[in-house]
Amino acid sequence: MQKRLTFVLQYVAYGLALAFVFLLLTTDDLSLGLGNASDDSGRVSFNQAVARAAPAVVNIYASKVYQDRVHPLLLDPFLRRLLGEPPASLQQRRNHSIGSGVIMNSRGFILTNAHVISDSNEINVTLNDGRQAPAGIIGMDVDTDLAILKIELPNLPDIPIGDSSTLRVGDIVLAIGNPYNFGQTVTQGIVGATSRKRRGLSFFDDFIQTDADINIGNSGGALINTRGELVGINSAIVSSTGGSEGIGLATPINQALFVMQELVENGQVIRGWLGIEVQTLDPNIARMADLTSGGVWVSAIIKNSPADQAGLLPGDVLISIDGKQTSTPDQAIETVMSLAPGKQVRLEILRGWERQELATVIQQRPVTRIP
């Protein structure tokens, strides 16, 4: 009888152990999917993720002070004799814009959108804890619509940094910002797409698409995952009304960190430049020319650019740059951008039906100015 009882107890112990392991595994799976979104009561919440990120998200108030211009007619000599001299002191006016930003470290560097603070001569930042400070511009990169500000305050919060390359379509994300100057607001959605390109919003389009509500004032704010990690900078919306219609676009944090480092160290982003415009190559031409790896069609050459100096011509097919294949226009742009100015490169091209090689020296991409 004792042996039977021992036998039964052993199997009961094995069963309990297996149940415990299964519970641990399912709990881990839930935490991976929702980022520990359930509290002790079983309620699904992203409060912990927001609590980690929100203190580092700030409101940005940018303004430009200018004077009324004298109407040209008032400068006419006849009218000046008739009406007198125009007033010496003109009324000052102020244009305002609102946006958001993210404190990236305790040194006070803030990442935001360039369009939030462009053409401003006075920028003020309000932290989530109520503190306020003026901000100076460290640098702007119009090509990615990103800018770096700096404030001087003690005990600044920062934000956990995620990896935007790991985002998948369907992942839950949260947008934090200051829409319509309501104050800090959190909205929730999913990743609708990654690597959205050529929307005409910036030169290097590579956006995260989300249906988390992004409105006026959200620009420059944080897009976080369910662990509270920063994965993007909210940049724009696609809308016919000016308000959120379910298509928001954020700059991936991996790209933003590269731009931030360049702006802090150099005041601008240093990129390679070839001076060409390219388009997708007709597949029929690629097939007839036996271009198994593809290529891009050169549609325009900028005068005195490295491409012009190499002898590249509109109508050429660009097969590779510095040994790297260029099967799409985006790939060609990214390859050139990654090359250091001063580097000698070889261009493999197809001219007519003949393959040729050209040589040139990469230059630094001219800085894009805000109109």
Annotated catalytic residues are 115, 145, 219
Inter-residue contact 18 to 12 (CB < 8 Å): no
The DSSP call for residue 197 is: -
Encoding tokens for residue 107? 């040194």
Inter-residue contact 366 to 305 (CB < 8 Å): no
Of 100, 97, 104, the residue nearest 122 (C-alpha): 97
Q: Give the integer Cα–Cα distance in Å for 39 and 31.
A: 11
b or e along 265-301 (b: 16 or more beta carbons within 10 Å of the residue's beta carbon)? eeebbebbbbbbebeebeeeebeebebeebbbbbeeb
Encoding tokens for residue 95? 């244009």
Q: Give the integer Cα–Cα distance in Å for 179 and 117.
A: 16
Residue matched to tokens 């993007």 = 232
Inter-residue contact 154 to 131 (CB < 8 Å): no
Inter-residue contact 209 to 196 (CB < 8 Å): yes
Q: Which amino acid is at 174?
A: L
Any bridge partners for residue 367, and if so which? none
Return contacts of 69-76, CB within 8 angstroms, 24+ apart.
Answer: none
